[in-house]
Amino acid sequence: MEFLRSYGMNSQEYVEVSIGIEPYSDENAEMLMAELAELPFEAFEMETPYLKCYIPKEAYSPQMLKLALSGLDEDSFAVSGFSARLIPATNWNALWESNFTPIVVDGKCTVKASFHKGLKKTRFNITIDPKMAFGTGHHQTTYMMCRALMRNEASVKGSIVMDMGCGTAILAILAAKMGAAHVYGIDIDAVAAVSAFDNARINRVSKRVETYCGDASLLQMGKYDILLANINRNILIQDIPTYSRSLRKDGLLLVSGFYTEDLPMIRGVAEAAGLEFLSEDAMDNWCCAGFRKA
């Protein structure tokens, strides 16, 4: 079982809620997960055609879930219903650990957990605390964003970097290790923002990494040389104009979290916001693109 998010699940009994999505896609599942952020789910898992949600037994309320689902405001998908089942007490951290294998990006960056020992060192080595499983680097989009960042190393050194939707802060930590002067991270989830700072501390870059809970409206607190956004397509389309305004002249925007067929739409929004298209990368139909502020 590979969790999209895991907020330190313990050994108590949980309810597994399976929500059907029509049409199913990873992007639609991620958007549904965002819609359910106000409910006390502690972990999510994608399993076609469902988004599986995990919540402590005593916190589960089918009435509250029905209310949340009835208020969905998404044009790209619909919910076909949900079912729930009780999950026996489990050592979730042990299960998470057994499914988290280290990854190496282009032979230069290793992402691992603290329990991985004896690994060969690469140029950049990042340790992620298993309390937070969102953004372990295993997803193609995180992998490509790491790769894009390393391909722009000359721009990273001495720069001010913003990591939007920072999750576990893999990208923020990598930027700091690459020599960024200061890195900010923003996530709409408060647990993610705290986890991101904890991971920065574990990786000994906390003096140059700040994390906040919020959305793109927080970008007005400064100007940035590089902005990273590994978020779903709809959020990117909505927020790219804000990203552009927050970038300094010649600033770099790296985005992922969308499919290759969505690139023309993303590119159109970016160019309309004064951004010049630079590059694209693809893995398993996921896409990563780079832009520069004119």
- What domains, with CATH codes, occur in the chain? 5-94 (3.30.70.980), 137-293 (3.40.50.150)
pLDDT of the residue at 230: 93
Sheet with strand 160-164: strands edge to edge: 209-213, 182-187, 160-164, 224-230, 247-259, 286-293, 275-283
Cα–Cα distance measured from residue 103 to residue 107, given in angstroms and rounded to the nearest whole number: 9
pLDDT tens profile 196-222: 899 999 999 999 999 999 999 999 889
- What single DSSP character describes residue 207? G
Lowest-pLDDT range of 7-21, 101-115, 158-172, 212-226? 7-21
Cα–Cα distance measured from residue 14 to residue 168, given in angstroms and rounded to the nearest whole number: 24
pLDDT tens profile 78-136: 999 999 999 876 655 566 556 677 889 999 999 988 888 888 899 999 998 755 444 55
| pLDDT for residue 56 is more than 50 | yes
pLDDT of the residue at 113: 84
Q: Mean of the pLDDT values across residues 51-55?
A: 90
- What single DSSP character describes residue 158? T
pTM of the model: 0.74
* Residue 145, token pair as written in the block: 């964003």
Q: In the beta sheet, which residues pair with residue 182?
A: 160
The closest alpha carbon to 199, from 228, 222, 174, 169, belongs to 169
